Structure formats: structure tokens, C-alpha cells
A and B are shown apart, each in its own frame.
Chain A
């Protein structure tokens, strides 16, 4: 049996992905689903998810508290933003270190006006297609960062 289908051991540090996850906007849900696609399907062995709200909460006494901040201090990160508030980028910069790259969902949506997501609660078929496209963009950036480490 060939070993080609087996995952390669990640020798370099993983890249952290931080989705803004904004609950109020459909773009927030897109960041979230795109992040899951990257980490579950596209680049499972070289990426990991970091929770934006845990950057603030992580300093409070808690089992494992501060892990998010520590990881982002020592690893390269990519933030995915649903709006111009840049909550992911601001949080990682404030509590850890500047993100290596930022992906803006609205820019990608502008390139695909034919794809209209249904709602923040349910992206619908178009929204899922958009999430896949966003995830592909994130994966490209992951490869670039991972390779240059």
C-alpha cells in the first residue's frame, strides 16, 4: 500500500486562522464556515482555529486560559473579516501580535455578485459556494505563509 495518501507530518508551525464570526451579519457566518472548510477539508494538517472572543476572555482565570494569545504570539495568523470593523485583526494585534494576513470577505463577495447568501442563520446554496471560494483564498494565503516560515 502506498503511503502517498497518508498526511505528511507538519514539521513547521501551524498557521492560526481567526474568523471574525460576527453574529449579526451574513458575512460573519461566511467567515466562520470558510474557516471550518480550510481547517477541516483544505489544509487540515497545517492550520488551526483560534476563537476571536477568547483573546479577551483568555486572560481570565480558566483552565487553558491565555492559550489563544500565546499561540498567536508564536505563530503566524490569518484573520478573516466580515466587515470594515476588522474585529479579528484588532483582537489578535491587541492581545498577541499583528496578523500575517487579512482576508476581507466583502472584497470576495464583490467579485461574485451572482452569489447571494440567504441569511446569517442559513447561508443557503449560494452562501455555501461563496464560503468555498473564500476558503480557497484563505488556503492560498496559508500555503504562502507556511512555505515561507
Chain B
């Protein structure tokens, strides 16, 4: 865990492609678009209430990404830590690009789902830039 990072918490959704898109977008942000500013953290550890993770999240900015109306990432972070600084939904990006219908594949995302994930990641990158404090 690092100090002064924007933490990205994607939902761990495993039943639909929308959850996988959250995860993929988070990886694109932390590995490619904003590696020096953003870091991913495990949502299951937040649910477990691991102290080091909760403390690190409390001390930094948090962005949650959810794939369905249960909003697990947002809800669990709000309950275990605090209100996130920004929230994203993978379903919003799907509505924005209706010509790119995500495939149903979950194990390995389909072509459209990957393109949508990158578009979502770019929006998250802009938010990371806004929230990040040197």
C-alpha cells in the first residue's frame, strides 16, 4: 500500500460482463493510464475490514466502479470506510456507446467489452487527475 494515491476499487462482480468491465477498467488505469497516481485495492479486504487497508483508504482519495445496481463497491466502501470521492458505473459507459454492445463472455471479456472498458478507464483517468494531490 502506498501513501498519496487515488485508490481504485472495482466491484468483484462475477456473474455478468459488467463486473468484469469494472475490473478491466481498473487495471487499465493503474497499469497504463495513471500508474504513478492510482492504485488498485481488493474489495474483499474492505468487506473483511482489514485495518491496514481501511486506514490507507481513509487517508487517500477513493474511486469506486460498479457493474450493477447492487453497487457493492460503493456500498461496501461507504459502510466500511467512508463516502467515496467519485463513483463510476460500467453500465453508464454502455449507455453512452450504444453501438458497442458488450458480449456476454465473463471469463475473458469480448472485443466490445474491452473497448468499453478502455473508454471507462479514460474517464476514470481524468477523475484521478482531478483528485490526485502531489
Contacts and interface: CB of A to CB of B under 8 A. Distances in A.
B50 A85 contact: yes
Interface residues of A, number: 36
B31 interface: yes
A108 interface: no
B10 A32 contact: no
Given A87-B47, A91-B47, A53 B31 contact: no
A62 B41 CA distance: 25
A18 to B, nearest CB: 9
Nearest to A52: B44
B14 A32 contact: yes
A28 B27 contact: no
B75 A21 contact: no
Contacts of B47: 52-53, 55-56, 87, 91
Contact of B12 (A51, A58, A65): A51
- Which range contains the number of B residues in contact with the other chain? 20 to 34
Interface string B59-90: 00000000001111101100110000000000
Contact of A85 (B40, B48, B80): B48
A20 interface: yes
A64 B72 CA distance: 13
Nearest to B44: A87
B42 interface: yes
A70 interface: no
Given A23-B12, A49-B15, 14 more contacts: A20-B44, A23-B26, A36-B106, A51-B14, A53-B47, A53-B76, A54-B72, A56-B79, A57-B79, A85-B45, A91-B47, A91-B48, A121-B24, A121-B31
Ordered nearest first, which 5 A-B pairs have the shortest CB separation? A87-B44, A21-B12, A53-B72, A121-B27, A57-B75
Interface of B: 9-15, 19, 23-24, 26-27, 31, 40-48, 50, 69-73, 75-76, 79-80, 106-107
Interface of A: 19-25, 28, 32-33, 35-37, 40, 49, 51-58, 60, 62-65, 85, 87-88, 90-91, 119-121
